[in-house]
Structure 1
């Protein structure tokens, strides 16, 4: 049985308002499957003229709709695409889930970078306080006089603060430029860390020799007027670590060209105790003390390093995920 051209053109029309429930209960034999999902799009047709079939001829035996005739209708014909509606609902649900995940990612990235930004502000404040109140506390090495504890803390705090600021603003504003800058900064820091770590392990012996020699050269500046910071640095580390010199208290004899040591090298500290040759001094060098401390805490230091590495990788991954999503959609997600 062939369908007329008017039936083919009316397949997407909406149901008329005067349709009865009996019409929806009895789909015609021309209903077909849509999309291959197993849902039948029931096409309900009304008779418009001489095409009237008997109930026994049109319906198979046992059909409950046998004997019922379809009422005459206008030129509107109804087709319900249940399968297409179901697919639309599924896609809408997926879009909502993706949008929720991206909003969660955005706020997580903002929160973590806010914490980093606050930590950077704290480090910067501590470094400035050390530089102002403890300005005489400098470095042990005469080759790098500006490499003091205060300057190191200020530098690290500034880097952390800038990186956290880029991550915070890039995430909350969904700004592609800030997110890309955040990714590049983290990548540069990660590459610098890896290069320094590789060079350190590749030239460990040479680094140790140069460091010891540079520290020994700095001992000769202990009593000079222009290096009060170096003097204070040695006094603090020898008192706290209970050590003397770089490799031993004899390093002071070679550097000062006389048999004297600083007073902080004495096991019983009092004024000018270092000039008493019969006094007891700390025999272990400070460089060896530092090496022993690093060996004892290598697992802790390794764990901290791995945590920093994981945080950097996660920050890079999250920033690029958010960047790609914003670039693909071309608009912001409203949270």
Structure 2
């Protein structure tokens, strides 16, 4: 009976880690796609080193590596791989919890930094109309139906077509009234609950993964098959 349960646990870990591996590959591919097609963090120059495409790339690589370790460790019943899998999951959970605490503590400062960077990004786009910064602003303004940081006056006399509610060719074009900062804040607030729930679910999955890995590790240690290949 115990052997049957442990076999079930082993193959459950294999299937779960294989699915996580495929998810990691998908995240990695999406990160590559975004890096090749978008450069949204040109709107915020100081945060260019932690832009979304790079974060997706790093997340995809970490997920695939950890999932591969868990899959191979369970399949081969290898104590070394299982222990590495356990430690990596534990470290990931610590990093996630630390990041969540830092975001809560420095939420206001981060908001101010993003606001300042948006102003710098908009000033840069006004100086070099037609470059990648300008196209990024166009995409954001079309996606969130907004104009500038606060309103169309942020663009001075160089208001782009993406700010127009109707055709810009008229003598008195009508611009979108809401700024992108307000729209982005509203979007983040709406998705904050979903993000929080996702983090909690992810932590629960990681704890279960650590429990399964340690259970399998202890069984293999008792059976003397610690380095079976």
Classify the TM-score, shorter chain.
0.7 to 0.9
* Alignment-derived partner of residue 283 in structure 1: 177
1:247, CA displacement in angstroms?
3.0
Could you tell me whether the CA contact under 8 Å between 1:238 and 1:264 is conserved in 2?
Answer: yes
**Pick aligned residue for 2:39 from 114, 119, 137:** 137
Deviations 1:280-316 (A, max 9, x none): 2222121221221233344333322222121111111
Equivalent in the alignment of 2:9:
105
Aligned equivalent of 2:153: 250
1:166 to 64, 69, 75: 69
- Cα displacement string for residues 39-76 of structure 1 (whole angstroms, at most 9, x for unaligned residues): xxxxxxxxxxxxxxxxxxxxxxxxxxxxxxxxxxxxxx
Map 1:159-238 to 2 at 5 A: 159-223=62-126, 228-238=131-141
Matched with 1:261 is: 159
The worse-fitting range, judged by mean Cα deviation, of 218-227 and 103-112 is 218-227
Q: Please report how far the alpha carbon of residue 226 of structure 1 lies from its aligned counterpart in structure 2 after TM superposition.
A: 11
Query: Tell me, which stretches of 5 or more residues in structure 2 are unaligned?
Result: none
Q: CA deviation at 1:138?
A: 4.1
**Alpha-carbon shift at residue 227 of structure 1 (Å):** 9.1
Scaled by the length of structure 2, what TM-score is found?
0.87
Once the two structures are overlaid, the 10-residue window that deviates more, 261-270 or 110-119, is 261-270
1:121 is matched with which residue?
Answer: 25
Residue pair 1:141, 1:215 contacting (<8 A) in 2 also: yes
Aligned residue for 1:243, secondary structure, equals coil
Question: Displacement of 1:239 after TM fit?
Answer: 0.2
CA RMSD of aligned residues (A): 2.4
1:38-53 equivalent positions in 2, closer than 5 A:
none
**Alpha-carbon distance between aligned partners in 2 of 1:225 and 1:160, rounded to the nearest angstrom:** 39
Greater RCO structure (CA 8 Å; 6+ sep):
2
TM-superposed CA distance for 1:225, in Å, is 5.6
Query: Could you state the TM-score of these two structures normalised by the residue count of structure 1?
Result: 0.61
- The alpha-carbon deviation at position 224 of structure 1 amounts to 5.4
The equivalent of 1:314 in structure 2 is 208
CA distance in 2, matches of 1:165, 1:287: 40
Query: How many equivalent residue pairs?
Result: 226
